[in-house]
Amino acid sequence: MTATTKVLRKPRRTLAEQSYLLEVVKGLGVTLKHFFKGTGQLVSGNKPSPVTDPYADGCATLEYPDEKRPYAQRWRGVHRLTHRDDGSPRCVACLCCSTACPAQCIYIKPAEYPEGDKRRGYERYPEEFVIDELRCIFCGFCVEACPCDAIRMDTGVHMTAFDLRSDFVYDKDQLMSHVGQDGTQKSANTRHEPGDPTHPGITRLHGGH
C-alpha cells in the first residue's frame, strides 16, 4: 500500500472574517437564538427534563437537590461506615484507610472493646472515626484499602454545602447514619463474628487464604 499524501491548506481568513464585524453579528445571532429558545422554554414552562432527556436541545440544567440523575453503583459519594448485624461498626480501626488517604483527612482513634465484650481481645474498634470532608478528594483509596469492607462511598450523596467548616468534619455517628444507595447499612463482609461459639460460615472457602 502506497502512502497517500493529503495536502491541507492552511485556512485563510476572508475579508469579511478579517473585518470582525460580520463575525460578531453572526456570533450574536447564535447566542440570540439560544437566548430566545431558552427564554421561551422557561417562560412557557416546557423545558426538557434533564433526568429523562438529558441530551435534548435547550436548557440542560439539572436542579440537583430537587432533581437527581441515577448514579452508577461505583460512583463515589460521601462516605459511610457499614454496620454489623448488631449495629456496631464493621471497622476494626486498622488505620489502613488513613494510611492510604492521600489527603490525610481520616483520623481514627482505635480502642479495645470493654471488659466483658465478646469481641474483647479479638478485635478493636474505632473509638473515634473522623473524616474531614473538606480535605477529602473523593479518590476512593480508603475504600480500596479497607480489608473489612467497613468504609464505603456508595451513598450516592454529594458533598453538601455548610456554613461552618466544623460541619464538614463528620464523626463516627454521622458516618454510621449514612445509608448506601441500595438502602442498607450492611457491608459485603461476611466474616463471622469473633468470639461467636458457633462460628457460622467458613468464609475462607471463597477467600484467597
Partner 1 sequence: MPSFKLDDREIPFEKGDTIIKAAWRLGIEIPHYCWHPGLSVAANCRMCLVEIEPPPGGRAMMLDIMKWDADKNDWVPDRKPKLQPACQVQATDNMVVRSTSSKAAVEARAHVQEFLLVNHPVDCPICDQAGECKLQDYWMSEARTTKRMRDEPVHKPKGVVFGDTIVYDAERCITCTRCIRVCDEVIGDHMLDLRERGNKNEVVLAQGRKLEGDYTLMTEHVCPVGALTSSHFRFKARVWTLKETPTVCPGCATGCNLWIDVDTREGRAYRNRPRDNEAVNRFWACDDGMMTYLREHDGRVLKARLGRDGVREDVKRDAALDRAAEVLSKAPKGKVAVLLGAQFSTEDNFVAAALAKALGAGLYLTAKPAWRADKILRNADQNPNRAGALAAANGARVGSLADLLAAAAEGKVQAIVGLGADADVDANALAPLSRIADVVLALSHEGPLARYATVVLPAASWVEAEGSFVNAKGVAQGFKRALSPKGDAAPAWELLAGLGRAMNLDLSYTKLREVRAALLAQVPAAHPDHAPATSAATDAKASAGA
Partner 2 sequence: MFWIQAFVKIALIVGVLVNMAAILLWVERKQSAMMQDRIGPNRAAIEVGGVRIRAAGLVHSIADGIKMIWKEDWEPVGGDRLLYRLAPIIALVPPLCLFAVIPFAPTLHVDHLRDLYDPAWAADPNDHSIPMRITTLDVGLLYIFAVAGAGVIGAALAGWSSNNKFSLLGGLRAASQMVSYEVAMGLSLVGSFMIYQSVQPADMITWQMQHCWGIFVQPLAFVLFATAAIAETKRVPFDVPEGESEVVAGYFTEYAGLKFGMFASGELVEVCTSSALLTVVFLGGWQFPFVQNSGFEFHYLGLDISWHWAHFIVVLVGLLSFVLKVAGLIFLQLQIRWTLPRFRYDQIMMLGWRILLPAALLNVLLTGMGILFYNGLSTTGGGTP
Alpha carbon distance 80, 171 (integer Å): 10
Applying CB under 8 A, does 151 fall inside the site for partner 1?
Answer: no
Applying CB under 8 A, does 51 fall inside the site for partner 2?
Answer: no
Applying CB under 8 A, does 13 fall inside the site for partner 2?
Answer: no
Report residue 192 as a C-alpha cell. Answer: 463471622
Applying CB under 8 A, does 24 fall inside the site for partner 2?
Answer: yes
Applying CB under 8 A, does 148 fall inside the site for partner 1?
Answer: yes
Q: Choose one: 7-15, 21-29, 42-50, 117-125; the region binding partner 1 (CB under 8 A).
A: 117-125
Alpha carbon distance 183, 149 (integer Å): 16
Q: Which amino acid appears at position 109 of this protein?
A: K
Contacts of 138 (CB under 8 A, 6+ apart): 76, 77, 153, 159
Applying CB under 8 A, does 132 fall inside the site for partner 1?
Answer: no
Applying CB under 8 A, does 28 fall inside the site for partner 2?
Answer: yes
Q: In sequence order, what are the beta bridge partners of 111?
A: 125
Report residue 197 as a C-alpha cell. Answer: 461459639
Q: Which residues lie near partner 2 (CB under 8 A)? A: 21, 24, 27-28, 30-32, 34-35, 38-39, 42, 58-61, 63
